[in-house]
Structure 1
Amino acid sequence: MKYKWLCPSIIACLMLLTSCMPNVSVEDAAIVQIAGYDFVDKDQIKGTFAVAQYTKSEQKTSANEVYLSTTANTVKNIHAKLQRQSSRPISTGKLTIALYDKELAKDGMSKFIDSLSRDPRIGRDILLAIVDGSTEEMVKMKYEQNNTTASYMKGMIEHNMYSNFPNTNLHNYLHAYFGQGIDGFLPYLEKIKDHIKLKGIAFLKDGRLAHTIPYSKSLFFKMMKEEVREGVQEMNFQGEGVMMESISSDVEIHIKGETENPEFLVKLNVRGIVNEVSNLSHSSTPPLVEKIEKEFTKFFNEQCTALVHEFQEQNIDPIGFGNALKNRRRNVDMKKWQEQYPEVPIEVEIQLEITETGIST
């Protein structure tokens, strides 16, 4: 009986302690949704924040976007300086996307990545991107498609990840950054007049920008990297553009040969739907579909093989062949692997099926 009041007493104490926690409403804080960093010189970087400041109206809570910018030698000093510029405490807990200009990425992003990975306030699902041009200009530009720059960029990148662009966020990049036998990649953005273009993919080796590919090659990389569910790809066939839609695929990486001298086989199973195409000189649909299947198989094989060779020439391994070797074979010498990777035999094998067609002949 002496413990009769123990449980209610503990609950009451916890409620009192909870009520003592600081509680800052969104109207009283400067919520950073997007941050951009530009290279100034070897010792200085410029940081630009887009801050959503919320105000109460009769109908709803609305956001006004304001911009803060300063130059310092570290990310922490940029944050400290911007705190002194803001009339409200700056909060990075809702950070959606972080941008880095190309020169900064070439110089090295290790200090930025380490800072992000150690900050418990920042979620692992935020987006990172490399910018061809000024991040400050990109952040401060007003875009008509969304009410804030952060929501516009986030929507643009994420909806492309449902089709041709590979999945990307801070968690995925950290996996490659801290892993062995695999190099990371990020979206490569460019501002064109009053909108932002997803220019392609930027590949980083040891935290430095090493190579880029255009968006037109992103599907081939995605196919060799992960499952595809809603891809779209056009191919020239007998002088006509044939579009394959709703492309789905899965990938398996097989390792042959000895651990010291491995060979790789990338097996892709691809399925898709072909749209209606006119002016093709065939009298029946089944033979036409069979020919298009063969041409698409050849096309995908050539494009994927060329991309693998491109990665080997640049000595980057974003697909993760080295990581696959390390995980499946014992006593892999990763230093030796780095030396032999550019010459390792890698074959691509495509199994393609057109599941539906609207072709008229």
Structure 2
Amino acid sequence: MKRYVSILLVCFLISGCAKQEIIDRIKIVQSVGFDVQGDIFKSSGTYASYQKKELLRLMNVEAQTFGGVWLPQNTKSDDQIVTGQIRTIVISEKFARKSIQPLAMSLLRDQVVSNNATIVISKQEVSTIMSEALKNPPFYLSDLIKQNMEKGNTPLTNAHSVLNQYYGEGQDVYLPVLDQDENGLIHLDGVGVFKEDKLRLLLTEKESLLLKLLKDKSKTMIGSYEFRRRENEPIYFKILYGKRNISHDQNDSVVISLKLHIQLRELPKTISSVSNSDLLDLKHDIEQHFTSEISDMLKKFQMNAVDPIGFGELYRSNHRNWNEQEYKNKTYPNIKFEVNSEIIISQSGVGVGAE
């Protein structure tokens, strides 16, 4: 009996020390964006407004320091601002090209922001993107990004992986890119790759998928792809899942083996989905296409001195006398890549190809 009484007393003591935060007396920031104009930091944040008719409201502020943007937000708020539920952090392309060091330092020091928060680059001003997001249901922005990472062509990333890439050795940061179409609708548009703390390279949507295939785990190695064969015939298929292996040997060469299971979705009339010879020819063409495209992308990384795949990290794990600068200046530019692609047509689809 005394044991149960002691447990109850401890529970009361713990609950008495907890800080109460009543939901309609705080402002829970769901997404926040950062931009720069000269030496001024600009911030736009969306938060739930439980006492108003609007589901989300937008607050725009300016400050001379990155962390100082929270001060004017507090002065404009009638309730305490809480950042523990931030799902999306948007930075402008201008901010990314200048330096993401203030953001990285803030994430490292601020233990309140979740490691699962997603960081993305916006081609427009952050306030424009955030204003457009207000027209949609709550969590629209975070759900859009999550859907494209889990089922689309965008590689997985979050605040935790960004910090690991930024402060770790032998790898570079990459972030998804947001854009708006002619109707103002927000969509994912490739990936931005950084050299140290500055945006260096913008990848297309197709290159974004190739990066995903070289980085994601097997279960999320999925996406959609289309290309034209030698005869300029369009091919469209879905990647169901895949496996890869990357080895960095002692001779400064890297071998990449990629095995993908695909579902054919649309074929030209010259190809029959029930003809073994047609499917074998198509399989060969897709394998050659992926091998060529991945090889070209890796050469582009070398030319721009960026390593989003993390070949340097793999090299470091196998070499005791690791020197990051020596690797970047001498080893990485001269690496020879061997890419081997294997395609397995798991599903040929229904009603596609030659009749």
TM-score by length of structure 2 reads 0.91
TM-superposed deviation, 1:334: 1.9
Task: Name stretches of at least 5 consecutive residues in structure 2 with no aligned partner.
Answer: none
Contact 2:171 2:309 in 1 (8 A): yes
Alpha-carbon contact 1:181-1:320 (below 8 Å) kept: yes
Q: 1:54 aligns with which of 47, 50, 53?
A: 50
Question: Structure 1 residues 12-21 or 192-201, which shifts more?
Answer: 12-21
The answer to whether residue 73 in structure 2 is matched with residue 82 in structure 1 is yes
Listed as ranges, the matches of 1:89-104 within 5 Å are 89-104=80-95
Distance (whole Å) between structure 2 residues aligned to residue 85 and residue 203 of structure 1: 36
TM superposition shift of 1:267: 1.1
Give, as a single letter, the amino acid of the residue that structure 1 aligns with 2:48. Answer: A
Partners of 1:281 and 1:189 in 2: CA distance: 36
Distance 1:6 1:143 in 2: 53
Residues 322 and 337 of structure 1 are in contact (CA less than 8 Å); yes or no, is this contact kept in structure 2?
yes
- Distance in 2 between the 1:21 and 1:332 partners? 47
The alpha-carbon distance between structure 1 residues 10 and 353, as it changes in their structure 2 partners (threshold 3 A), is closer
Task: Name the counterpart of 2:141.
Answer: 153
- Counterpart pick for 1:292 among 282, 295, 319: 282
Which residue pairs with 1:243 in the alignment? 236
Q: CA deviation at 1:247?
A: 3.5
Q: Which residue of 1 aligns with 2:324?
A: 334
Q: After alignment, is 272-281 or 347-356 more displaced? A: 272-281
CA, structure 1 residues 87+285, in 2 after alignment: closer, same or farther (shift >3 Å)?
same
Aligned residue among 246, 249, 262 for 1:253: 246
1:89 maps to amino acid: Q
Match of 2:174 in 1: 185
Residue 125 of structure 1 corresponds to: 116
Give the counterpart of 2:104 among 102, 109, 113: 113
Question: Partners in 2 of 1:278 and 1:143 — Cα distance?
Answer: 42
Distance 2:203 2:84 in 1: 32
Gap change, CA 1:209 and 1:239, over 3 Å in 2: closer
3-state SS of 2:124 partner? coil
Q: Deviations over 1:97-140 (max 9, x none)?
A: 11111111111111111111221211100010111120011112
Give the superposition deviation at 1:235: 2.2
How far has the Cα of 1:21 moved from its partner? Answer: 2.8
Q: Is the 8 A contact 1:225 1:251 kept in 2?
A: no
Distance 1:194 1:281, change over 3 A: closer
**Is contact 1:29-1:53 (8 Å) kept?**
no
Q: Distance in 2 between matches of 1:284 and 1:10?
A: 69
Matches of 2:186 and 2:319 in 1, distance apart? 44
Give distance in 1, aligned partners of 2:327 and 2:228: 38
Q: Once the two structures are aligned, what percentage of the paired residues are identical?
A: 22
Give the Cα–Cα distance (whole angstroms) in 2 for the partners of residues 32 and 184 of structure 1.
25
Task: Supply the distance in 2 between the matched residues of 1:90 and 1:143 (Cα, whole angstroms).
Answer: 18
Is the 1:36–1:99 Cα contact (8 Å) retained in structure 2? Answer: yes
* CA-CA distance at 1:355 after TM superposition: 2.0
Give the SS at the match of 2:222.
strand
CA contact (8 A) 2:222 2:242 kept: no
**Does the 8 Å contact 1:26/1:53 carry over to 2?**
no
Equivalent residue number for residue 29 of structure 1? 26
- How far did 1:352 drift? 1.7
Segments of structure 1 that go 5 or more residues without pairing to the other structure are 57-61
Q: Distance in 2 between matches of 1:317 and 1:141?
A: 33
SS of the equivalent of 2:321 reads coil
User: 1:141 Cα deviation (Å)?
Assistant: 2.2
Q: Cα gap change, 1:283/1:134 in structure 2, threshold over 3 Å: closer, same or farther?
A: closer
Q: Displacement of 1:276 after TM fit?
A: 4.8
Q: Using the alignment, how far apart are the partners of 1:247 and 1:269 within structure 2?
A: 11
How much has 1:208 moved relative to structure 2?
A: 1.3
Does the CA-based 8 Å contact 1:263-1:345 persist in structure 2? yes
Instruction: Please name the residue that 2:338 is paired with.
Output: 347
Partners of 2:142 and 2:24 lie apart in 1 by 23
Match of 2:158 in 1: 169
The Cα of 1:221 is off from its aligned counterpart by 1.2
The secondary structure found in structure 2 opposite 1:189 is strand
| Cα distance, 1:33–1:143 mapped onto 2, change above 3 Å | closer
Question: Counterpart amino acid of 1:126?
Answer: A
Q: Matched residues in 2 for 1:284 and 1:97: separation?
A: 46
Sort the Cα spacing of 1:254 and 1:142 in 2 relative to 1 into closer, same or farther, 3 A.
closer
Amino acid at match of 1:251: R
Which has the larger displacement, 203-212 or 317-326? Answer: 203-212
Paired with 2:121 and 2:304, the residues of 1 have a C-alpha distance of 18
How many residues were matched structurally?
346
